[in-house]
Amino acid sequence: MTEDGLAQRQRAAVLLEMRRPAEARAILEPLLGRDPRDAKATVLLASCCQQEGDPARSLDLCRAAAALAPDDVVLLLDCASVARAAGHPYAARTWAQRSLAQSPGNLRALNVLSLAEAALKLPGPALAHAEEALRISPDDAELRVAYALALSANGRPAEATEQYVGVLEAHPAHVYALNNLAAERLRVGDLQRSTRLFARAVAADPRMRIAAGNILITARASRRMLLSRLALTIGLVCLARELGPVPAYVTAALSVVWVAWSFGRVPATVRKRLGAGLTTGDFIGAAIVVLGGALTLGSEPGTGESLPGSLVLICYGLLVTGVTAVRRSRVDSELRKRGVRLPR
């Protein structure tokens, strides 16, 4: 390749780092038109497709690039990284393993392999490769993030959180540490902190669609929280009405106040998305609340007719809120023992 061709290829790589795939494509396609066997340009074009949301085309181009240079460790790792980002962890794992076989102890190969195995739900191998990489370079932020992901996949959320917090202490704007820590806190029901961390990740890299998309995940968690609290409130106040002379308007007022307070706890950036991405679980939860509410609120107090509906609502509310609360309590207790202070 000519010096001008190399310069153009480097320019395309810089544009991809800046997440400007359309401009990179405009450079790469003429290069490949002149030299279809340019493996590096091929994998860069695969990265363009990945960023543009075409994972199938991206994988095809990675395969073509790997076939053109089967012994090039750097290129194979480029293919593995692009495939993993495009949602093809099997292919990513294969190319990372080939790279590691040709270059034992290669940090990048160990890192990509661990991330791919975590995505494939292979927690044991993912942790083993992450630990091996971290032994070689214990202060590398990217390796610590991969290690934290592997810890989380192995059911060790407090240790994973500790790693993310350590990375953020050294690199406060580390996008993936912010994003992954936010997801970790979301799993234990810490919606407020989770949303703030997601917002920081998006601010650090506005083009990072993964972090922006996690706002939708937060909205789903918020819906579950609101439904469970509504169910629990209606169930408890109707049970109280059944057992004692509580007027219907008191029941309604208490329910409204509690749900309004819960809604106020949902971050403003998430409220706009509460109705987006409805899942089967959302419809099941809503059906339980509606049917249980109809059975309880539509019955006469003191007759016992509202008891079945009240118990259904209370059980559903306790199940959803209780499981999350217990999980959060355990994780936060372990974090306190480790002296880990979560970022605001």
pLDDT in tens, 10-52: 998 999 988 889 999 999 999 899 888 999 999 999 999 998 8
- Go through 283-310 and write b for each residue having 16 or more CB atoms within 10 A of its CB, e for each that does not: eebeebbeebbebbbebebeeeebbebb
69-73, 251-255, 340-344: least confidently modelled range: 251-255
- CB distance 201 to 175 below 8 Å: yes
Region of residue 205 (left: phi > 0; alpha: psi -120 to 50; beta: else): beta
Does residue 188 or residue 280 have the better pLDDT? 188
Closest to 128 (Cα-Cα) out of 140, 142, 118, 141: 118
Count CA within 13 A, CB hemisphere, residue 55: 10
Distance CA 148, CA 152 (A): 6
For residues 103 and 101, what is the distance between their CA atoms, to the nearest angstrom?
6
Q: Do 31 and 45 contact (CB within 8 A), yes or no?
A: no
Predicted confidence at residue 270, as pLDDT, reads 64
| Token couple for 103 | 């270059």
The pLDDT, as a whole number, for residue 344 is: 74
Question: Helices (DSSP H) in 35-102: which residue ranges?
Answer: 39-51, 55-68, 73-85, 89-102
- 235 CB neighbour count, 10 Å cutoff: 25
Token pair belonging to 335: 């974090």
CA distance 187 to 181: 10
pLDDT score, position 4: 67
Q: What mean pLDDT do residues 121-139 have?
A: 93
Please state, in angstroms and rounded to a whole number, the distance separating the CA atoms of residues 292 and 154: 38
d(CA 289, CA 311): 12
Report the sign of the C-alpha dihedral through residues 195, 198, 204, 205, in that order. Answer: negative
Q: How many H-runs (helices) and E-runs (strands) does the chain carry?
A: 17, 0
Q: Which position has the token pair 């650090």? A: 204
**pLDDT confidence bin for 306, thresholds 50/70/90:** low
How much is the pLDDT for 26?
Answer: 92
DSSP conformation class of 251? H
The pLDDT of residue 244: 64
Mean pLDDT in the chain? 82
Binning pLDDT at 50, 70 and 90, where does residue 8 land?
Answer: confident
- For residue range 244-301, list pLDDT tens digits in order: 665 656 666 766 776 677 666 666 666 666 666 666 766 777 777 777 666 666 666 6
State percent of the chain over pLDDT 70.
Answer: 79
Return the pLDDT at 70: 92
| pLDDT tens-digit map of 76-105 | 999 999 999 888 999 999 999 999 999 999
Q: How far apart are CA 76 and CA 92, in angstroms?
A: 9
Q: Residue 42 has what pLDDT?
A: 94
pLDDT at residue 192 greater than cutoff 80: no
